[in-house]
Amino acid sequence: MFGDYDVVGFDEMFAAPGLVRPHYAALHERLSTLGVHELERRHRLADLMMRNQGITFTVYGREQGIERIIPFDPAPRLIPAHEWERIENGLKQRVRALNLFLNDVYHDRKILRDGVVPYDLVLGASAFRRECVGLRVPRDVYIHVSGIDLVRDEDGTYLVLEDNGRTPSGVSYVLKNRQVMKQVFPFLFGRYNVRSIDDYAANLLETLRHIAPEDVDDPTIAVLTPGVYNSAYYEHTYLARQMGVELVEGRDLFLDDGRIHMKTIRGPKRVDVLYRRIDDDFLDPLTFRSDSRLGVAGMTGAYRAGRLGLANAIGTGVADDKGVYPFTPDIIRYYLKEDPILGIVETFRPPVPSHMNHILRNLDKLVVKAVDGSGGYGMLIGPASTAAEREEFAAKIRAHPRGYIAQPTLSLSRHPTFIDGKLEGRHIDLRPFVLYGEEIKVLPGGLTRVALPRGSLVVNSSQGGGTKDTWVLRGSGNEIINNRKCDDRSRDATVSESA
Amino acid sequence: MLSRVAENLYWISRYVERVENVARLLDVGFHLELDASVPVRESTELSPIEGVLTILACREAFERDRGATERDREHVLRFLTFDRHNPHSILAMLWRARENARATQEMLGGESWSQVNKLYLYLCSAKAHRRFAASPPRFFDGIKRACVLFDGLVDGSLPREEVFHFLQIGRYLERVNQIGRILTERLGDWNETTVEDRPARAIHWASLLRGCSAYEAYCRAHHERVDPRGVVEFLVLSPDFPRSMRFCVTKCRESAREITDSDDDEVRSEADRLLGRLDSRLRYIEVDEILGVGIVPFLAEIQEECDLVGDAIHSTYFYA
């Protein structure tokens, strides 16, 4: 199974070739004894479960649209308790600081006046919403839901790669992956003491209730989706179902008497809080893009008047802007007077002349990202680029320095992944999800994305990425080596056979 | 409940019901055609499977598509099963049921949604085509069962609240519609004075009952032989048989009243009023009266009433 497994860079399972990290020992043993055919069978079972439940995203282009499931890898990623504690504290610190930053840039702008972050960077960011300047949001919370992408460098240190504070998606895959894993590998869970993620929907609901208008006792909450053709539609339905709230589209809503209402079979019903999964631009055709048919005319007015809670708040994109990213450690120090617990990736900014020189001289070694790009688009990966591509990017960077950042090419940690009948190392990242309600809560684990093509560093699902279940252990994970001798191979097999 | 969601639910069950009926009709038609003793009424007579084209009102579409002379059984079956461009094909109807279900899966429940989704994905698969080629009756039987399973999941998992009642209205209104169409096609040219080849005709009536899953129940209720009068009485007026028009109308009315919360005799909505009127008519009419008016005009009237009910439901709940 692990035959000629190659250990390159930081590997999550192996400290060195043949040397399994203690917390992975039980999983390693399990995978080794399971055998290729059995693992393949369970892999197929997992795929079938996903497909039958409609956990798909749609790739458009042809007549019907092609439905794909995001490839699911059956080898879970393990994070021992002490590692997770650090991540969790780091994420809480980070989200708290970014939230203070948003409140500041839409009101007093102290951080800009004190020269910690350049004015033009913030006010010129495409995600900055001048319509929200001076707008008080409920409880001063902006980023209710965030998904913060972490990677590990060659030493295994966790670094923040990107903050997603607009409408981050992927949490339904976290929850579904867990369900599938429990059915496909029921007994392995028993050996590892894995932290539960079942309360995510309840916590999300609590977070949303927290921002209801103050004069409403029993708020009506709804999830606002762009509709069935959105690639994350499955997630929207899943979350609405798990929270027991309505899933609405813009055409179900209208403004009346200063509040948002939904059209029901018994006439209009007031809506107090929207968990909106529509971008700022499309929320309200009267305030933002006038060609939007996804939003509700007049929504911003209700929001401004405090008669509607929105999660996330409008204009949060300025906090996860790639141009602001290099300043996030300073933002944390400025507001919290603490050192950042989680580092960021070293980042060069073309507007700084010395950085510009460095970038242009080292384009073949760097990753260049467009500040407004996302999802792996608009990127130059230096080591994999052609001279022509580098020329093109050099010209773009010179013409528009504010539009780009550059980072050294990270190797990203690798994890055994089931590819064509054996386990091979593939690069992974981690997107944990953070909820900011009355307090800040981090879902234990998160979405581990894996770049399936050999050597690829791009984990986005739109670019051939897959996912893994992520297990946060209650202990160090070292204590479970061989402490249960029972042969659960046969037990696992019987259970999934009858499932 | 959102108006959009109510409308989606109503259409999901209408489409699933229609798919089930098409599958059953094709299954029964196929069996009948395999019998060497199939009676040919006249030379222009349609085969049982071609009759399904008439029942579904897509004969013209088929002739446009394949030409008026094309009478290959295989083509008709494929046109009614796998043709995406025929809006009445099983595949096309399931696609619509699925898109409606996708948009309401949080109300419908995971299991019921998954059932529609699975069935649709199966129909798109190579496996479905292989099964079809190997044995059409078994293939159609499988589809019929998958639809019944959907009904079962709905019945067994949903609280008797609005979601359930909109599904119920859709299902039973569609069923009345289908029974009407089947009877019209199969009994259209019949009258009591026709001189008949009795044994051959009996096969015809029996297949009509089978097309409504009614054969065995009919035999238990009417011990004498199968005749058109008994068939009409059973499929239109039976109070207990779940595929009789009267039964379906009563179910529709129950659900419509649940939605409007009317537990007294007062009429609470236009849909309730129309269903109540139709219900009384089917309750108190006699089979001889129906035959007196003529079965076809009678069924056309019922159809019209049902269309009015559909309109009333739309204007009351979906476009409120």
- Single out the residue of B219, B213, B314 nearest to residue B271, CA to CA: B314
What is the extent of the structural domain holding B313? 160-320
pLDDT at residue A352, as a whole number: 92
Q: Do B103 and A240 touch (CB under 8 A)?
A: no
Residues A67 and A129 placed together within one structural domain of the fold: yes
Contacts of A249 in chain B (CB under 8 A): 4
Identify whether A40 is part of a domain. yes
Which chain B residue is nearest to residue A238, measuring alpha carbons?
B106
Quick one: B138 exposed, middle or buried, by C-beta within 10 A (0-12, 13-18, 19+)?
exposed
Write out pLDDT tens, residues A269-315. 999 999 999 999 899 988 888 888 888 989 999 999 999 999 999 99
How large is the ipTM?
0.75
Write out pLDDT tens, residues B41-71. 444 456 778 888 888 888 888 888 777 665 6
Write out pLDDT tens, residues A458-473. 777 666 789 999 999 9
Residues A334 and A355 placed together within one structural domain of the fold: no
Question: What is the SS3 assignment for A31?
Answer: helix
Q: From the centroid of its chain, how far is CA B187?
A: 16
Residues B74 and B15 placed together within one structural domain of the fold: yes
Mean pLDDT of A354-359: 94
What is the number of domains present in chain A?
Answer: 2
Task: Give phi and psi for B16, each to the nearest 5.
Answer: -65, -40
pLDDT at residue B122, as a whole number: 94
- Could you tell me which residue, B198 or A445, shows the higher pLDDT? A445
Of A51, A227, A238, the CB nearest to B121: A51
Write out pLDDT tens, residues B221-256. 876 777 888 889 999 999 999 999 999 999 999 999
Residues A404 and A461 placed together within one structural domain of the fold: no
Q: Do B2 and A237 touch (CB under 8 A)?
A: no
Question: What is the SS3 assignment for A495?
Answer: helix
Residues B310 and B167 placed together within one structural domain of the fold: yes
Q: Do B162 and A251 touch (CB under 8 A)?
A: no
pLDDT > 80? residue B315: yes
Structure-token pair, residue B213: 């899953």
Write out pLDDT tens, residues A415-428. 999 988 889 999 99
CB distance A369 to A405 below 8 Å: yes
Identify whether A60 is part of a domain. yes
Q: What is the mean pLDDT of chain A?
A: 88
Mean pLDDT of A91-98: 97
Mean pLDDT of A60-80: 77
Residues A335 and A189 placed together within one structural domain of the fold: yes
pLDDT at residue A490, as a whole number: 43
Residues B132 and B2 placed together within one structural domain of the fold: yes
Identify whether A274 is part of a domain. no
Of B1, B114, B316, the CB nearest to A264: B1
Highest mean pLDDT among A210-219, B71-80, B182-191: A210-219
Contacts of B271 in chain A (CB under 8 A): none
Quick one: A185 exposed, middle or buried, by C-beta within 10 A (0-12, 13-18, 19+)?
buried
CA gap B51, B29 in Å, rounded: 9
CA distance A182 to chain B (A): 18
Which chain B residue is nearest to residue A261, measuring alpha carbons?
B2
Confidence of residue B112 (pLDDT cuts 50, 70, 90): very high
Q: Which of B131, B158, B185 is the last residue of a domain?
A: B158
- Could you tell me which residue, A49 or B123, shows the higher pLDDT? B123
Mean pLDDT of B261-284: 86
Q: Do B106 and A247 touch (CB under 8 A)?
A: yes
- Single out the residue of A151, A69, A35, A152 nearest to residue A418, CA to CA: A35
Positive or negative torsion for Cα A399, A405, A411, A415: negative
Residue A222 pairs with which residues in a beta bridge? A246, A274
Residues B29 and B88 placed together within one structural domain of the fold: yes
Residues A34 and A137 placed together within one structural domain of the fold: yes
Residues B264 and B145 placed together within one structural domain of the fold: no
Contacts of B318 in chain A (CB under 8 A): 265
Identify whether A183 is part of a domain. yes
Q: Do B114 and A233 touch (CB under 8 A)?
A: no
Residues B125 and B164 placed together within one structural domain of the fold: no
Residue A9: count of CB within 10 angstroms of its CB: 16
Percent of chain B with pLDDT over 90: 51
Highest mean pLDDT among A130-134, A336-340, A399-403, B184-188: A336-340
A470 Cβ contact partners less than 8 Å away, ≥ 6 residues apart = A76, A77, A79, A174, A430, A445, A446, A447, A448
Residues A90 and A202 placed together within one structural domain of the fold: yes
pLDDT at residue B188, as a whole number: 73
pLDDT > 80? residue A46: yes
Q: Which of B158, B183, B203 is the last residue of a domain?
A: B158
Write out pLDDT tens, residues B5-41. 999 999 999 999 999 999 998 988 888 777 755 554 4
Residues A371 and A472 placed together within one structural domain of the fold: no
Identify whether A450 is part of a domain. yes
Residues A133 and A87 placed together within one structural domain of the fold: yes
Residues B61 and B169 placed together within one structural domain of the fold: no
Residues A166 and A105 placed together within one structural domain of the fold: yes
What is the extent of the structural domain holding A88? 14-213+308-339+411-498
Q: Do B106 and A227 touch (CB under 8 A)?
A: no
Would you give the DSSP letter of residue A76?
E
CA distance B264 to chain A (A): 19
Q: Do A54 and B99 touch (CB under 8 A)?
A: no
Percent of chain A with pLDDT over 70: 92
Q: Where are the alpha helices (DSSP H) in B89-161?
A: 90-102, 105-108, 110-124, 126-134, 136-157
CA distance A236 to chain B (A): 9
Residues B20 and B121 placed together within one structural domain of the fold: yes
CA distance B31 to chain A (A): 32
Residues B184 and B310 placed together within one structural domain of the fold: yes
Q: Do B320 and A265 touch (CB under 8 A)?
A: yes
Contacts of A266 in chain B (CB under 8 A): 320
Residues B12 and B122 placed together within one structural domain of the fold: yes
Identify whether A471 is part of a domain. yes
pLDDT > 90? residue B266: no
Q: What is the CATH number of the domain that holds A394?
A: 3.30.1490.270
pLDDT > 80? residue A249: yes
pLDDT at residue A294, as a whole number: 87
pLDDT at residue B203, as a whole number: 77
pLDDT at residue A486, as a whole number: 42
Residues A472 and A360 placed together within one structural domain of the fold: no
Residues A437 and A390 placed together within one structural domain of the fold: no
pLDDT at residue B41, as a whole number: 47
Which chain A residue is nearest to residue B115, measuring alpha carbons?
A52
Residues B137 and B208 placed together within one structural domain of the fold: no
pLDDT > 70? residue B190: no
- As a whole number of Å, the CA-based R_g of chain A is 23
Question: What is the SS3 assignment for B187?
Answer: helix
Residues A395 and A429 placed together within one structural domain of the fold: no
Identify whether A244 is part of a domain. no
pLDDT at residue A481, as a whole number: 52
What is the number of domains present in chain B?
Answer: 2
Residues B309 and B191 placed together within one structural domain of the fold: yes
CA gap A407, A78 in Å, rounded: 27
pLDDT at residue A497, as a whole number: 34
Percent of chain B with pLDDT over 70: 89
Identify whether A260 is part of a domain. no
Q: Do A52 and B117 touch (CB under 8 A)?
A: yes
Confidence of residue B127 (pLDDT cuts 50, 70, 90): very high
Confidence of residue A453 (pLDDT cuts 50, 70, 90): confident
Q: Which of B97, B126, B158 is the last residue of a domain?
A: B158
Contacts of B12 in chain A (CB under 8 A): none
Structure-token pair, residue A264: 């029901």
Q: Do B121 and A252 touch (CB under 8 A)?
A: no
Highest mean pLDDT among A225-234, A330-339, B179-188, B208-217: A330-339
pTM over 0.80, yes/no: yes
- Could you tell me which residue, A444 or A60, shows the higher pLDDT? A444
Q: Do B106 and A237 touch (CB under 8 A)?
A: yes
Lowest mean pLDDT of A356-360, A413-417, A474-478, B275-279, name the range. Answer: A474-478
